[in-house]
Amino acid sequence: APNPVLSTIRYFRDEYEAHIRDKKCPASACAALFNSPCQNSCPAGVEVPRYIALIKERKFDEAVDLIRGTNPFPAICGRVCDHPCEAKCRRATFDEPVAIKSLKRFAADWEIKRGHQYKAHFAAPSGKSVAIVGAGPAGLAAAHFLATFGHKVAVFEALPVAGGMLAVGIPDYRLPKEILKFEIDAIEKEGVEIRLNTRVGVDVTLDGLKSEYDAVFVSVGAQSSSTMGVPGEDLEGVLPAVEFLRDAALGRPV
């Protein structure tokens, strides 16, 4: 009898640990651990039912402030998120899921058009400093939250633009550059310093960052294309998608 249990622990260890440590069910199957499957399925843990209710009440500023409390990129996610929340929406048992992603985009666009400024709650200066390697979504999100904790934050980015794959992996028609700029500008206004064209290992060293800052967070992301293993993919003129999108975004010859 114990054998099936041992097998599942061996192959699904991460899921077991999420249930025990985080009190979260990644599959949204254990109703005892959550109130709303949509919020449970959100990687950022955004309070989906609350911000939808605020939008219904036409409290758009409050809705976007609520979203920004756990996700500093509502305008971005309102466009490019793959919305796992909608796949778990209980409304689908009646007709179709609530358009959660589109509602987030609406609230974020309202913020941009109306000039509403989200005011994060900042802790007193801690006297601590953190270096972040990589200005992609993970690095920028970490910078935002670390700044609210009162830490001094500097982000080091090898590319000439901030945003990581948001800037060089997603075409403009999916994610307009002005939307990305708005979100990044908001983080810089929180006192975060972003140093572009700075490659760790060339312009600065990891040991140097460790000696200068109290902590270093490495968030270089997944920047390489995966091969398909099909004949001809290594021929001249065949470009990996990630490389093509990056070169096109940076204005390089493709």
pLDDT for 228 equals: 86
- Tell me what pLDDT residue 245 has: 93
| Number of residues that this document lists for the chain | 254
**Tokens read off for 145:** 């939250």
87: domain CATH number? 1.10.1060.10
Residue 31: per-residue pLDDT: 54
In a domain, 177, yes or no: yes
Same domain, 146 and 190: yes
What six digits make up the tokens of 72? 């500093």
User: Do 135 and 94 lie in a common domain?
Assistant: no
Mean pLDDT of 15-31: 65
Backbone angles phi and psi of 85, in degrees to 5: -60, -40
> CB burial class (10 A; 0-12, 13-18, 19+) of residue 252?
exposed
| pLDDT in the model for residue 173 | 95
Q: Do 154 and 186 have their domain in common?
A: yes
Q: Look at residue 29 and tell me if it is in a domain.
A: yes
Give the number of domains in the chain. 2
pLDDT band with cut points at 50, 70 and 90 for residue 28: low
Listed residue (82, 48, 76, 78) closest to 63, CA to CA:
48
In a domain, 33, yes or no: yes
Instruction: Give residue 117's pLDDT.
Output: 77
pLDDT band at residue 118, thresholds of 50, 70 and 90? confident
In this structure, is residue 18 part of a structural domain?
no
Last-in-domain residue among 79, 114, 149: 114
Q: Specify whether 105 is located in the same domain as 176.
A: no
Judged against a pLDDT cut of 80, whether residue 247 lies above it is answered with yes
Give me the pLDDT at residue 224, please.
82
Higher pLDDT, 228 or 104: 104
Question: What CATH number is given to the structural domain containing 212?
Answer: 3.50.50.60
CA distance 37 to 25: 9
Is residue 151 domain-shared with residue 90, that is, in the same domain?
no
C-alpha triplet 83, 85, 87: angle, nearest 5°? 85
Q: What is the mean pLDDT of residues 47-61?
A: 95
Kindly state whether residues 109 and 138 are assigned to the same domain: no
pLDDT band at 222 (very low <50, low <70, confident <90, very high): confident
Extended strands (E) in the chain: 129-133, 152-156, 193-195, 215-218
* Dist. CA 17–CA 40, nearest whole Å: 16
126-179 confidence digits (pLDDT tens): 999 999 999 999 999 999 999 999 999 999 999 999 999 999 999 999 999 999
**Any idea which residue has 């060293």 for tokens?**
205
Average pLDDT, the chain: 90
40: in domain: yes
pLDDT at 215 > cutoff 90: yes
Whether residues 161 and 199 fall in one domain: yes
Please give the single-letter amino acid code of residue 142: A
Is residue 235 situated within a structural domain? no
Higher pLDDT, 9 or 80: 80
Q: Give percent above pLDDT 70 in the chain.
A: 90
68 and 134 in a single domain? The answer is no
Confidence label for 29 from pLDDT (cuts 50, 70 and 90) = low
Q: What does DSSP assign to residue 169?
A: T
Do 102 and 170 belong together in one domain?
Answer: no
User: Sheet containing 129-133: which strands, arranged edge to edge?
Assistant: 193-195, 152-156, 129-133, 215-218
Q: How many CA atoms lie within 13 A of 244 on its CB side?
A: 6
Residue 43 and residue 27: Cα distance in Å, rounded? 12
Structure-block tokens of residue 79: 């466009």
Residues of the domain holding 211: 129-218
Higher pLDDT, 225 or 133: 133
- pLDDT band, very low/low/confident/very high, at 36 (cuts 50, 70, 90): confident
Candidates 208, 112, 104, 230; CA nearest to 156 is: 208
Question: Of 61, 90, 114, which marks where a domain is finished?
Answer: 114
